Amino acid sequence: MNLKFVALGGLLAFLSSGLVPAQDFRSNTFETSLLYKSQSGEQFGAPEGADEANVDFSSDNGWGFAFGYNFDEHLNLAFEFSKNTPNYETRFRDEDGDVRTLSHSASFYSGQFNGTYHLLKGPITPFVTAGLGWTNVDSNISNGKGYCVPDWYWGWYCYSSSYNQNTFSYSAAVGLRADLNNGVFLRASYGRQWLDEKIGKDEPEFDVGKFEIGYRF
Q: Which domains are assigned to the chain?
A: 3-216 (2.40.160.20)
Burial of 91 (0-12, 13-18, 19+ CB in 10 A): middle
18 Ramachandran zone, left/alpha/beta (phi>0; psi -120 to 50): left
pTM of the model: 0.79
**Residue-level pLDDT, tens digit, the chain, 217 residues:** 555 555 555 554 554 445 555 567 799 999 999 999 999 998 876 555 555 557 888 999 999 999 999 999 999 999 999 999 999 887 767 677 777 787 889 999 999 999 999 999 989 999 999 999 999 988 888 766 766 667 666 666 565 567 778 999 999 999 999 999 889 999 999 999 999 876 656 778 999 999 999 999 9
Contacts (Cβ under 8 Å, ≥6 apart) of 10:
175, 176, 186, 187, 188, 189, 211, 212
pLDDT (tens digit, 9 = 90+) per residue, 152-196? 666 665 655 677 789 999 999 999 999 998 899 999 999 999 998
Contact yes or no for 25/179 (Cβ under 8 A): yes
CA 49/CA 31 separation, integer angstroms: 50
Contacts (Cβ under 8 Å, ≥6 apart) of 96:
none
51 bridge partner residues: none
